[in-house]
Amino acid sequence: MNIWVYVLRRLLYVIPILLGVCLIIFVLFNVVAGDPTHLLLGKHATAKQMAELRHELGLDRPWFFQYLDLVKSAFTFDFGRSWSTKQSITTMISEGALPSLTLTIPGFVLTTIFSVSLSLLVAFYRGSFFDRFSVFICVGLMSISSLAYILFGQWFFAYYLGWFEISGYDSEFPNWIPYVQLPVLIWIILSIGPDLRFFRTIMLDEVYQDYVRTARSKGLGEKVILFKHVLKNAMIPIITYVVIQIPFLILGALLIESFFGIPGLGGITLNAINSSDFPVIRAMTVLSAVAYIIFSVITDVLYTIVDPRVRLK
């Protein structure tokens, strides 16, 4: 099947999936969560005040039309206005996307490169002290709270040693680079543990396959086997793991952005949760769902590029 025909078919499948996702999101926010006017006005609000606010927010309209508005926003990315700031949510997202991406993209790319490279080394020295030590370090890094890394990094590296900025952000390039260096470093430390363990498992599974024993019997060196055969055959689970994480980069890093004063989408989402700003929370949920569906299609297409045995149907 032609790859473009396959992509078109998958994109057509996105429509019913997105309708179903919007229905679930609508039920969670409009049915399960109850009447948000109680949260916005407080427990001492009168019935008249609640009715007026419900009308102002459009919550007194039939549920079917409210659901259609949600579906429309998923396709047009027009999410209305925030209840707390009265700003356009689309504008808030566009303004917060760049600060978030300046943190998440470098952290994600560097973590992936380090993790895959170290997993190849672990596979090469499997069963050795280096292998066991790497597992020990991974478990140790994963066992410590992310909040501890953030607070220690700000105190020791930024305040005590003065190597980095403690907090703040400058939207002009390259002025934002000093402000994201420490957050990116903490992102790598937080992510490299689970990533390295996952990639190590994949590499070791491939190392003990029959084709590796055949390659050794033909006299191929261990480095050639690892980089030319093992890495190539491990690309499908690696691509799945990496590409599926990309949509979540859009949401930024809630704790890191909050503690380092980065005005990204993570901070916007956290403020929306604290203020019960349902339209913003709903918009971020819809945005992440759309991104997840799109990148799932991209993942399937990438399979055919790295492995000719995979056929699009």
pLDDT, one tens digit per residue, over 100-129 is 888 888 988 999 898 888 888 888 888 788
The pLDDT tens digits for 65-85 are 888 888 888 888 888 888 888
CA 54, distance to chain mean position in Å, is 34
Residues 236 and 300 in one domain: yes
Residues 55 and 160 in one domain: no
83 lies in some domain = no
Q: Exposed/middle/buried for 64, CB within 10 Å: 0-12, 13-18, 19+? A: exposed
Residue 2 pLDDT > 70: no
Radius of gyration of the chain (CA): 24
89 lies in some domain = no
289 lies in some domain = yes
Q: Domain containing 252: what range?
A: 100-306
Residues 108 and 215 in one domain: yes
pLDDT at 1: 58
Q: Which whole number is the average pLDDT over 2-14?
A: 76
Q: Strand, helix or coil at 51?
A: helix
Residues 72 and 107 in one domain: no
Residues 37 and 170 in one domain: no
pLDDT at 33: 64
Residues 56 and 144 in one domain: no
Angle at 191 between CA 160 and CA 119, to 5 degrees: 120
Alpha-carbon span 101 to 192, nearest angstrom: 19
87 lies in some domain = no
End-of-domain residue from the set 43, 76, 109: 76
Alpha-carbon span 137 to 25, nearest angstrom: 39
Residues 118 and 251 in one domain: yes
177: left (phi over 0), alpha (psi -120 to 50) or beta: alpha
Residues 106 and 177 in one domain: yes
124 lies in some domain = yes
Q: Exposed/middle/buried for 6, CB within 10 Å: 0-12, 13-18, 19+? A: middle
Residues 276 and 232 in one domain: yes
Residues 168 and 259 in one domain: yes
54 lies in some domain = yes
95 lies in some domain = no
Q: State how many domains the chain has.
A: 2
What is the pTM for the complete model shown? 0.80
125 lies in some domain = yes
Residues 135 and 280 in one domain: yes
Residues 29 and 112 in one domain: no
At 159, which CATH number? 1.10.3720.10
Task: Provide the Cα torsion 11, 21, 57, 84; round to 10°.
Answer: -90
